């Protein structure tokens, strides 16, 4: 869910689709991540998304594609204003707003930047390619390529560091689907964390990506300018299939709200911190 855009969020990009008619929709997303550095690390993330108007649910699937008890899910009944979150088989969950969550993410990033006395050079987002793309699941697409450059340098005690980041995004998007309230709110909120450096990159990226993304490839090249060491992270996201659903085809309980408790500020910080760490894996 994964949603993307800039190394501070790990370029996590999983978009939620909807059909213009407002019919319910269910589809799967596959995200493959390859990190090359001292050694090669790979990960595969699978999600199943069900959307029906303002109701939306994301199930985090097991590697074999099944809904395991440890996978967990996120659920909204109000178009993304608030979410219920369940970590696997736990009976309770946190009920929190996107605004509060991403504001906490932004505050942590701002605090971390001050801690390392970071200097952040001006970031650049440039569209380098726009061309007709192939049909994906019967929908015509446009292929965009965006190039993003940014970096950071700073000091922690006597230790200095300086990094540059080159990021390339290939996006295949279609104008024939529309984002539901859930995804619109997610994208709008993620670009308003209060951490201006990341927010500016997200805003510039969103200005170019004007359709629903069916396929996306993100390559991030991180260079340590002091040692010359380079690491490369490649993340590919693709909608692997979807189907329109009649109300009778939606399994009973899909949008049933679990027993929830309100997340306090301490827990919100823990979840925001985990979001940042997981994004950078």
Report in angstroms the alpha-carbon separations of 142 from 103, 130, 136, 145, 210: 33, 7, 10, 10, 10
Q: What is the pTM (predicted TM-score) of this model?
A: 0.80
What local confidence, expressed as pLDDT, does residue 13 receive? 32
Determine how many CB atoms are found less than 10 A away from the CB of residue 182.
27
Place of tokens 């990021």: 167
Q: What is the pLDDT of residues 165-190, one digit of tens each?
A: 999 999 999 988 876 666 677 777 77
Residue 139 is encoded by which pair of tokens? 């929908």
Q: What is the pLDDT of residues 94-107, one digit of tens each?
A: 556 777 778 888 88
What local confidence, expressed as pLDDT, does residue 16 receive? 40
Cα within 13 Å of Cα(233), Cβ side: 18
């Amino acid at each position: 869910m994964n949603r993307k855009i800039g190394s501070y969020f790990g370029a996590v990009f999983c978009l939620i689709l909807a059909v213009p008619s407002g019919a319910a929709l269910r589809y799967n997303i596959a995200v493959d991540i390859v990190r090359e550095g001292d050694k090669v690390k790979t990960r595969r993330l699978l999600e199943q998304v069900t959307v029906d108007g303002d109701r939306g649910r994301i199930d985090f699937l097991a590697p074999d594609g099944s809904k395991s008890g440890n996978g967990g899910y996120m659920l909204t009944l109000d178009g993304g204003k608030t979410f219920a979150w369940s970590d696997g088989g736990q009976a309770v969950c946190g009920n929190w707003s996107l605004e509060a969550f991403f504001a906490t993410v932004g505050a942590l990033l701002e605090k971390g930047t001050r801690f390392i006395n970071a200097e952040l050079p001006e970031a650049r987002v440039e569209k380098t390619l726009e061309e007709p793309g192939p049909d994906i699941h019967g929908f015509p697409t446009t292929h965009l390529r965006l190039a993003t450059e940014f970096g950071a340098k700073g000091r922690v005690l006597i230790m200095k560091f300086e990094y540059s980041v080159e990021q390339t995004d290939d996006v295949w998007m279609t104008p024939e689907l529309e984002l539901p309230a859930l995804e619109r709110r997610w994208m709008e909120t993620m670009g308003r964390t209060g951490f201006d450096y990341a927010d500016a990159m997200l805003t510039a990226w969103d200005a170019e990506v004007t359709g629903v993304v069916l396929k996306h490839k993100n390559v991030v090249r991180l260079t340590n300018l002091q040692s010359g060491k380079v690491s490369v992270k490649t993340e590919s996201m693709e909608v692997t299939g979807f189907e329109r659903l009649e109300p009778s085809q939606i399994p009973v309980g899909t949008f049933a709200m679990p027993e929830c408790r309100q997340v306090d500020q301490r827990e919100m910080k823990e979840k925001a911190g985990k979001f940042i760490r997981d994004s950078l894996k």
